[in-house]
Structure 1
Amino acid sequence: MKSSPSRRTFLITSIGAVSALALSREALADAPKVAESDPTAQALGYKLDATQVDKAKFARYAAGQDCGNCSFYQGKATDAFAPCPMFAGKQVAAKGWCSAYNKKA
């Protein structure tokens, strides 16, 4: 008959999981920044500065849209750069924009 995990086992496992999450968040903070020349960035029309978006090419763009208020932006409002799942393992500028923009709820 198997016994249930002890509190000690639970705490050790929890501490390990929390440590792993903290390290992965730190690694994301040091991730490279997306360059406009990146192939994915070009495909999505990414610009470091949303005011530089070609409105003729990206008619969906509207003033006030930027990565910082996009639902995909994984940073805080005060972060200048943060991870974005559209650019796996890279950070986007809070003031940037791409065609995957989706307003935060």
Structure 2
Amino acid sequence: MKRSDVTTAITLTALITHGLRAWEHLTETYPAKVVLAAYEREHRRGNIDYGCTLRLPWITPKGIAHHARGEAGIPDADQYTLGHTNRAEPPADQTEHQTEPLNPADETGA
């Protein structure tokens, strides 16, 4: 078996359908090294992203859009939760950093 046997459609469908358990689902049918190669291919294309291990990826907005264009009957991307947030933007209530003095005596200047 080779990487091209696990198509982009198969990979993205497994991630949408099975979420973080997609690896287990795909390795029931395909060898683990073939699934890993397919995950690497989709990561290079920007369709998936991962944290600590490539075996637990999530589908990106680009991957959802690609899947929706290629497959009939796929719901809107808005219906999918990606499982991660953009950490570059602070929450609205934390836009300014305020520090508290470590020692209460620092406030009095003593």
In the superposition, the TM-score normalised over structure 1's length comes to 0.26
Q: TM-score, normalised by structure 2?
A: 0.25
Higher percent of residues as helix: 2
Q: Please tell me whether Structure 1 or Structure 2 has the larger radius of gyration of its CA atoms.
A: 2
Greater RCO, 1 or 2 (C-alpha within 8 Å, sep 6+): 1
